Amino acid sequence: MIEKKYDYLIVGAGLFGSVFAHEMTKLNKKCLVIDKRDHLGGNVYCEEKEGINVHKYGAHIFHTNDKKIWDYVNRFATFNNYINSPLSLSKGNLYNLPFNMNTFYQLWGTKTPEEAKQKIDEQIAKYGVKSPANLEEQALSLVGKDIYETFIKEYTEKQWGKKATELPAFIIKRLPVRFTYNNNYFNDRYQGIPTGGYNVIINGLLEGIETKTGIDFFEDKEHLESIADTIVYTGKIDEFFDYKYGQLEYRSLRFEHEIHDSENYQGNAVVNYNDAKYPYTRIIEHKHFEFGKQEKTIITREYPENWNKGKEAYYPINNEDNQKVFKRYKEESKKLKNVIFGGRLAEYRYYDMHQIIASSLAKVEEISMSKQE
């Protein structure tokens, strides 16, 4: 029997793969991390331009309630005290997000929680339905007409490329409504941006570990599988099985980056553009994530797009049909004893960053426990 060169070949240098490689290296396992992109870090990769850390694949704000995960990422970077407080442009007016007393005052002129609750309850009673059949009915039943038409309808239709009446109700399980004057988008205890960008964390995780970029796993699959005892696969699960049960659906994104010869373009890190007349859903101004004082500024417009095999897959479309297909791939994956599937694409679910890290750590612990038995 030929001895394999590596214990683990990790396909994908995003957070799941990087955390897994780091933890297994600590356990004296030899790892190789590959990625088809020309850089490490997956979607959290930051590109330094004009002294600004540009979130190349959209805004990433770290937030969690899990102290263990917070302590873990703080081993690799110092986090600033950035608080995500996006603004929303709708029908020519700017509003605070998430939906809170500032939003309601801007929308209706209400000044007390009682006034705002009464307004919302009246609209739910008038426009809501008992058994919502689609996203529009679900939203009207949760927050009423004004909030739905001002903030949700056109934005969501752009995001998903379908009419709200054609989208399933379960996409919106709840709509957080906050009856305080608090513009902090997240409720989590811990929040911030790593000083120097997310590359600091990825570089810390992968320090001393062999990595190769510009490597497409599927172009040399047979050879790559032959050099490691176990494959850790973080790509699309349907692609791994050559789409034998059909192609899973995703939404994609396109980013347009612009450098401006001014210190400040929009005064906030994130501004949502709700109206259908804007083809993008938001503009990100990156310097505000790290309170930058650079002479220039860089903005990114984010355009939702239909996905095809030539594009990056960002959001799984977790409707009933796709879940049926995914379930077949999931059953197929369980038959492979030397392949571990992990991360957003391999598990066909949307993960926040802290959830990906937790999932990777849990997988390492599961393997360690099984080896001890």
Residues with catalytic function:
174, 178, 251, 282, 302, 350, 352
Q: Which residues contact residue 336 at a Cβ distance below 8 angstroms, ignoring those fewer than 6 apart?
A: none
| Nearest by Cα to 320 from 136, 137, 168, 172 | 168
Nearest to 26 by CA among 209, 198, 201: 209
Question: What letter represents residue 72's amino acid?
Answer: Y
The secondary structure element, H or E, covering residue 48 is strand 46-49
Q: How many whole angstroms separate alpha carbon 205 and alpha carbon 10?
A: 13
The number of CA neighbours under 13 Å toward the Cβ of 220 is 12
Query: Which stretches within the chain are classed as H helix?
Result: 15-26, 67-73, 101-108, 113-127, 135-143, 145-147, 153-160, 199-205, 221-226, 237-240, 320-334, 353-372
Residue pair 215/39 in contact by the 8 Å Cβ criterion: no
| Cα 132 to Cα 125: distance, rounded to the nearest angstrom | 14
Q: Are strands 6-11 and 228-233 parallel, antiparallel or unpaired?
A: parallel
| Dist CA 134 CA 170 (whole Å) | 8
Give the residue from 361, 308, 370, 365 showing the smallest Cα distance to 70.
361
What backbone torsions phi and psi does residue 147 show, to the nearest 5 degrees? -65, -40
**Integer Cα distance of 238 and 346 in angstroms:** 8
3 state DSSP class of 55: strand
